[in-house]
Amino acid sequence: MFDKWLADRTRLFDASGIRKVFDLAAKLDRPVNLSIGQPDFDAPESAKNAAIEAISSFKNGYTPTQGAATLRSKIQAQVDALYPGSGREVFVSSGVSGGLLLTLMALVNPGDEVIIFDPYFVMYDALVRMLGATPVYISTYPDFQIDVNKVAEAISPKTKLILFNSPANPTGAVAPRETVRELAALADEKGVALVSDEIYKFFCYDGEFHSPAEFSPNVIVLDGYSKCYGMPGWRLGFVHGPAQLMQEMLKFQQYTFVCAPSVLQLGAVAALDTDMTPYLDAYRRKRDLVYNGLKDYYEIPKSCGAFYTFPKAIGASATDFVTKAIQEHQLLIIPGNVFSSRDTNFRISFAAADSVIEEGVEILQKMARE
């Protein structure tokens, strides 16, 4: 009976790939888990205390749609300092996921084309389809760097926007300044929206992070606190870009999310004053542990950011390789076809304790030798 009730958009994509991994994982008694997409450190004490204080002191109501004044003004000041004179306007979203949905709702019509770099963050593909638009994939294999000429070729009269993510999930690739500049210039030249997902910008290990917003006032930036402050469950992010677009997105926020979680916004104000760089150094070391441990065994582009790396699996299919890793070695990793039209690579998350990473690397070395 329920089949008759379901909207057509429920059939536009499925989540079976990642579910299969979790189903296999549920059967393990002692998993070596390198599949997790969130940091292994906790939110700053100051933020936790500020959130608790907000709960205890009658601050449990709604905030304005655009965010609690204390948090929003602090983020606006940070954005103004980074992009002086750009007129960028900020609002607080329910995570980058919330910002992404509002951006696509405000900009994409059914039938529009949206450029996505393959491999991609799973939500991009799902949301684009959910809104009735068509994803157009541009491969970044084998080094996961963007070729701006390929983007120029892929732009058609139907192209509405480009979804850009650096540092990237699942590859750990960081786009160099020149690529970012060229991409922003191309989007402006062609009159296409450029959306920059910067959730991993804190996690840049070998060089500086560059945003396309440095090169164009038209870029829409999605950013958030899930990863850099260890608070993914708090569902806090922010969006900044041209004021007119932000106002349209706020219209949708008002009638969907209403506002981001109020007391957690007040907690996050305290987080913004916390120095998280010790974690950056720790994560660079984790990256090195994985890279140095696997480079002689796998085809593995060195990841320069985020907390992922995306080596090539051994054998014809990444799904078979990952199934073997899980069933025979209790090693949890994710097959590349979850993030890609190809099933050749697999994702390792190094957001884990060093001892777990070391154990995982040993298993992968053993699998390569077999």
Nearer to ligand PMP by C-beta: 265 or 330?
265
Among 17, 132, 232, 242, binds ligand PMP (CB under 6 A): 232
- Residue count, binding to ligand PMP (CB under 6 A): 13
User: CA dihedral defined by 40, 41, 43, 45, rounded to 10 degrees?
Assistant: 150
Nearer to ligand PMP by C-beta: 330 or 346?
346
Place of tokens 């951006």: 103
Residues 191-210 that bind ligand PMP (CB under 6 A): 197, 199
Contact between 237 and ligand PMP per CB under 6 A: yes
Ordered DSSP codes for 243-299 = HHHHHHHHHHHHTTT-SS-HHHHHHHHHHTTS--HHHHHHHHHHHHHHHHHHTTTS-
Contact between 96 and ligand PMP per CB under 6 A: yes
Contact between 37 and ligand PMP per CB under 6 A: yes
Nearer to ligand PMP by C-beta: 223 or 343?
223
Of 303, 289, 280, 281, nearest to 166 by C-alpha is: 303
Among 86, 165, 262, 349, binds ligand PMP (CB under 6 A): 165
Contact between 121 and ligand PMP per CB under 6 A: yes
Residues 6+ apart with CB under 8 A from 157: none
Two tokens, residue 1: 């009976």
Of 235, 244, 268, nearest to 78 by C-alpha is: 268
Place of tokens 């998280």: 276
Give the interface segment with ligand PMP, choosing from 19-27, 89-97, 148-156, 278-286 (CB under 6 A): 89-97
Q: How far apart are the first and last CA of the chain?
A: 50
Instruction: State the minimum distance, in angstroms, from the CB of residue 213 to ligand PMP.
Output: 16
Nearer to ligand PMP by C-beta: 182 or 197?
197
- Strand, helix or coil at 115? strand
Burial class (CB in 10 A: 0-12, 13-18, 19+), 125: buried
Instruction: State the minimum distance, in angstroms, from the CB of residue 349 to ligand PMP.
Output: 10
Nearer to ligand PMP by C-beta: 94 or 344?
94
Instruction: State the minimum distance, in angstroms, from the CB of residue 226 to ligand PMP.
Output: 3
Give the interface segment with ligand PMP, choosing from 69-77, 93-101, 129-137, 142-150 (CB under 6 A): 93-101
By CB under 6 A, name the binding residues for ligand PMP: 37, 95-97, 121, 165, 169, 197, 199, 224, 226, 232, 237
